Amino acid sequence: MRRSSITGLLVALVLTAAPVPAHAAPALDPVLVDNPLYDSGVIARSACVERPISRRGDAAAAKKYVAAVVKCLNRVWTAQFAKAGLTFEKPQMVLLTKDPKKACGHPWSPDQFRRYCPEEGRIVVVLDRTLLGRQVGDLYVFTMLAEAYAWHITRITGISEAAGDLAGLQYSRRLALQHMCLAGAFVGSVHRSMRHRDARDWRFVVSRYQHQEAGIFSGNRENIAFWMNRGFTKRNVAACSTWTYSESKVE
């Protein structure tokens, strides 16, 4: 089964990270723990109308679906940045129907559905039959887009760069779990507007993430569920700061 992870970027963060001085623990790095982004607080509930993908493998419908979700993401995060006194920059979106040879200047991994290119601020999504061939009505694509968008959020606030300066898998997991939590916060903020959705849809998405993403770069199944559900229920950006939590919550 293809994964949706951005493992390549996490590997790069680990391999290029500089040794960490004893005084540079994440709890002491203001970019990570006192970032102005956290001052934006709770994401207000709002409506986000999905455009249904009613047929398996329907790439045209999927592109309309993605465009609608991205419009909601742009609106929600623009408002959050304004609350924190930050200037927001929308990411570029590239939608493909088959795997490219390269993205972000690197070979595309056949086990991915999307990748974030930090230098360009670009999200590349492959809407192929592997992604759209099963359960097209579930909430997975919606959440996957929100998580990919979270990579952009942490990049333009300096969080991902600060995390990249810290050596060790623990910090790649903290970053990955923060993205999942931020995705959960966004989904939680609009979930009530999706009249045909119920708690089972969210539980399914979390279980799928647990199955596909669990590993040394993204955390174990228990912690993936913890952070995704924390974001979904609290809707508070500050609640998604993984940096001061004990290692047991980012294993």
Whether the per-residue pLDDT at 207 is higher than 90: the answer is yes
Amino acid at 145: L
- Rg of the Cα trace of the chain? 17
> How much is the pLDDT for 46?
97
**C-alpha to C-alpha distance for 14 and 165, rounded to whole angstroms:** 9
> How much is the pLDDT for 52?
81
Give residue-wise pLDDT tens across range 132-177: 876 656 789 999 999 999 999 999 999 999 998 886 888 999 999 9
Closest C-alpha among 121, 100, 124 to residue 110: 100
**C-alpha to C-alpha distance for 223 and 246, rounded to whole angstroms:** 12
Whether the per-residue pLDDT at 29 is higher than 90: the answer is no
> How much is the pLDDT for 183?
98
- Mean pLDDT on 229-235: 98
**C-alpha to C-alpha distance for 232 and 108, rounded to whole angstroms:** 31
Whether the per-residue pLDDT at 22 is higher than 60: the answer is no
> How much is the pLDDT for 25?
55
Percent of the chain with pLDDT over 90: 66
Asked if residue 159 lies in contact with residue 170, where contact means CB atoms within 8 angstroms, the answer is: no
* Angstrom distances, CA of residue 148 to CA of 3, 55, 91, 145, 176: 13, 24, 10, 5, 10
> How much is the pLDDT for 156?
97
- Looking at the DSSP bridge assignments, the partners of residue 116 are 123
Whether the per-residue pLDDT at 211 is higher than 70: the answer is yes
Whether the per-residue pLDDT at 82 is higher than 70: the answer is yes
Least confident interval from 13-17, 132-136, 187-191, 212-216: 13-17
Asked if residue 179 lies in contact with residue 150, where contact means CB atoms within 8 angstroms, the answer is: yes
